[in-house]
Structure 1
Amino acid sequence: MATRTGLRTPLFAWIVAGWALANVADSLLAVILAVWVVELTGEAALGGLLFAVFGVPALFSPLLGRLADRVSRRRMLWVTYVIGAAGLAPLLLVRDASQAWWIFAATVLYAGVSYGTAGCRGGILRDLLADEDLGSANSILQTIDQVLRLGLPFAAAGVYLWTGPLPIVAAAIAGFAGAAIVFASLRFAESPVEDDDDPFWRSVTAGFRHVARTRPLNRMTVVLVLLSSTAAFTSSVGFAVLERMGVEPAWMGPIEAMSGLGGLLAGVSAAWLMRRIGRPRVLAAGAGIMVVGVAPMLGDGVWLLAAGLAVLGFGVTAAVIAYVTESHVSTPSRLQGRVGTSVNMLLQLPSVVITAAGAAALGVVDARVIVGCGIAMCVAATVVAASTPQDVGGRD
């Protein structure tokens, strides 16, 4: 029998602390790795290509999801964080452009950490919390994530400009190691692993089937895929947009950190909004707001770009919280791992292709054309989200 807890308990507080430590690593490295590649090689396109590499582990994510549904998720969490810390260690030896491929290799492993933990997170929250607490829990976690994304990129950029990337890498390793220690130390009962008599590949793909047949999760997933594609279009040309505006690549982190400001506001209000208007409508509102946030990338104003990213952060965070909560509520514990990783695969594989294509297209077309494609995807997502019926999902 799984342990039941509440939002105001020491157990939940420690779980939040563990995920916060892991997010420290993510917030420090998400942009700095790409900046590092650009500085080493002098190629803005390679920085955009690095963002595409983040999606490579998506190819194997359903296998990780099946594993998360068949082992202790708490144990899988801390082991995965140990692997993440070890995978970053070689970056401490990178010194010149000939070793830039080490950064790409470490990025694949580092990105794999998020896929390995995606199913674990959903399963643990669903085991520990009642349905009515899931929205608030996801809002809390997203709020902490946005606070870190707001503050740490500024600190990382300052450290990078002053001493280079190595102290940042060391801090990220410490974040993963700290998260591993927290989850290795916690003790709570998880839901028992249920027998699965399906053939191997049918078992692996059970998450996709659940998403496809569950309403409104299926339509909400389409919306999130379109929004993820929007992010891919814009990420692929981020450095080119800054170059057009005359801004150094190292400022990518602080400028993108403005999205954390909007994300913070969304994090503290999303649970209330979901109770008032429902999860699909919050998703629709987030998609519409994202259109406004991306538009300044078509112009030449740095401050307008920063303001747009704050608006974008609000829309993205609200949409993600609404979707993740719907996924947790409408998915039984035995499928949480496979659903979480299947959705990640649906989001990331198109993003990999789009980001790589966008980075390659920079030599042929203006960055504004690629941004325009992203806005078109975002508008399509808003239309689909606006026609999605209200919540009908729930616990099986």
Structure 2
Amino acid sequence: MTTTLPRVLRDRDAALYLTAAVVSGFGTSALWLVSGVWVKDLTGSDGLAALCMLALWAPALAGPLLGTLADRTRRKPLLIGANLLPAALLLTLFTVDSPDRLWLLFAVLFVYGAAGVVHDAAESALVASAVPAPLRGDFNGLRMTATEGMKLLAPPAGAAVYAAYGGASVALLDAVTFVAATGLYAGLRVRESRPEPPQGGWRKRTAEGARHLWTHPRLRPLVLAGGATMLCAGLNGALIYAVIDNLGHAPAYAGVLYGVQGAGSVVIGLLSGAALRRLGERRFAAYGIALAAVAAGLRAVPSDPVALACSAAIGAGLPCVLVAALTAVQRETPDALLGRTAATANTLVFTPNVIGLAAGAALVELFDVRLLSAVLGPVWLLAAVPLLRQRAASPSRTATRSPSDANPA
């Protein structure tokens, strides 16, 4: 498979985007880990520590509404604002030094998550105009690689800063990365026309993104497959410590498995642009789902080499359907709808992950992990069937498209 990675790195706007993703991704990944540890140290409560992730994820449920902002204003200024707002709010965390001030931490995390939803919607829409079409697939593959790479590097770095200087110092580090990313976004050379005045009420405008996804024959199956995949991924993630017990290791072994899984995602990020050009979105998504599903089922085998191979395979398979779905959204959605549609797609795809985590946490208390893994694999595999079946009905639609097909968000 050929790649255009060198051309991506030579493109000025693409290089600025990727650098901003690396910088801000480092700070975000560090804070996500440290916020829970911070709350745990102040209160001793596992439940309150878990609420940090809930505060960050909850705004995603309002994705269709928040995404309308990306269609009502120019995307570049909105992207800059979505970085400056959390940067300013993070500085208030220097006042969090006791349990009775934790409300401020949770409030900042909630706004942080909401700004992230707006940021993602604006970025997805702006990429379509800032990055040349033939480079989008490889660009977004590199962006995924950067994001996953920061998830491997930033948490231990954030933990070290927290241990030495406390949680407020990590918040300051994250604020600095947001400011640095803002400078990079400000350097983008994009020309945006003023959006047309909105038609209808906010409910109608919000629903237009969901209506576009549901009525589009190529977008709907990909988004549904993405949601089903993330539901199964949540179930699979909830089984991780039971899998480790089955292997006979201490809970800290989860770090090894997650590290290998992250490495698999990094590799597929480098290859996704070329794979999309060769396979098209549906086959790329279906093959990734199949790979992750088989690996999840094989986790029933109590073997370290098998467990490590399965983690790498899940890391490589999971991003495929996400990349493919958002690729299609960028290509098949009119610019005036792109912010709302991308945000709605993100909500439909990622919200089931939280449901899967909750369901898996309950099921693992009732059933043996080997049985759950053996059942989960075939169930997960069913998510790939509609994609392959739809391709059989229109065999050459995506395979004959130009390289501009490969533009995952």
Assess same fold via TM > 0.5.
Answer: yes
Residue of structure 2 equivalent to 1:209: 211
Residue of structure 2 equivalent to 1:219: 221
Contact 1:49/1:359, CA 8 A, preserved across alignment:
no
Shift of 1:75: 0.8
Shift of 1:335: 1.1
C-alpha distance 365-56 of structure 1, shift in aligned 2 (>3 A): farther
Q: How does 1:1-396 map to 2 (within 5 A)?
A: 7=8, 8-37=10-39, 50-95=52-97, 103-159=105-161, 165-236=167-238, 238=240, 247=250, 255-295=257-297, 298=300, 305-359=307-361, 375=377, 378-389=380-391, 391=397
C-alpha distance 21-219 of structure 1, shift in aligned 2 (>3 A): same
Name the Cα RMSD after superposition.
3.5
Given residue 264 of structure 2, which amino acid in structure 1 is its aligned partner? G
Query: What CA distance in whole angstroms lies between the structure 2 residues aligned with 1:360 and 1:46?
Result: 19
Given residue 27 of structure 2, which amino acid in structure 1 is its aligned partner? A
C-alpha distance 372-61 of structure 1, shift in aligned 2 (>3 A): farther
C-alpha distance 164-84 of structure 1, shift in aligned 2 (>3 A): same
Given residue 259 of structure 2, which amino acid in structure 1 is its aligned partner? A
Query: TM-score normalised to the size of structure 1?
Result: 0.83
Query: What CA distance in whole angstroms lies between the structure 2 residues aligned with 1:51 and 1:235?
Result: 15
Which of 174-183 and 213-222 deviates more?
174-183
Contact 2:294/2:381, CA 8 A, preserved across alignment:
no
Given residue 136 of structure 1, which amino acid in structure 2 is its aligned partner? D
Shift of 1:264: 1.6
Cα distance per residue 1:137-165 (max 9 Å; x no partner): 21121122222223333434555566665
Query: What CA distance in whole angstroms lies between the structure 2 residues aligned with 1:302 and 1:36?
Result: 33
C-alpha distance 30-388 of structure 1, shift in aligned 2 (>3 A): farther
C-alpha distance 296-179 of structure 1, shift in aligned 2 (>3 A): farther
5+ residue gaps, structure 2: 1-6
Aligned with 1:387: secondary structure? helix
Shift of 1:265: 1.1
Query: What CA distance in whole angstroms lies between the structure 1 residues aligned with 2:88 and 2:348?
Result: 28
Shift of 1:203: 1.3
Contact 1:69/1:337, CA 8 A, preserved across alignment:
yes
Which of 385-394 and 282-291 deviates more?
385-394
Cα distance per residue 1:219-259 (max 9 Å; x no partner): 0111100111123224445566667865456x756642332
Query: What CA distance in whole angstroms lies between the structure 2 residues aligned with 1:32 and 1:149?
Result: 13
Shift of 1:348: 3.5
Cα distance per residue 1:365-384 (max 9 Å; x no partner): 66667766754652222223
Shift of 1:177: 2.1
Aligned with 2:81: secondary structure? helix
C-alpha distance 303-180 of structure 1, shift in aligned 2 (>3 A): farther
Cα distance per residue 1:311-356 (max 9 Å; x no partner): 2221122332222222111112111101111112212333333434
Query: What CA distance in whole angstroms lies between the structure 1 residues aligned with 2:47 and 2:302?
Result: 20
User: Which structure has the bigger radius of gyration?
Assistant: 2
Cα distance per residue 1:183-234 (max 9 Å; x no partner): 2454531244134424431211111111112232110111100111123224
Which of 257-266 and 29-38 deviates more?
29-38
Given residue 224 of structure 2, which amino acid in structure 1 is its aligned partner? V
Given residue 386 of structure 1, which amino acid in structure 2 is its aligned partner? L
Contact 1:119/1:338, CA 8 A, preserved across alignment:
yes
Contact 1:298/1:371, CA 8 A, preserved across alignment:
yes
Which of 84-93 and 276-285 deviates more?
84-93
Contact 1:226/1:380, CA 8 A, preserved across alignment:
no
5+ residue gaps, structure 1: 1-5
Contact 2:234/2:356, CA 8 A, preserved across alignment:
yes
Shift of 1:93: 4.6
Residue of structure 1 equivalent to 2:3: none
The percent identity for this pair of structures is 24
Aligned with 1:325: secondary structure? helix
- Size of the aligned set, in residue pairs, is 389
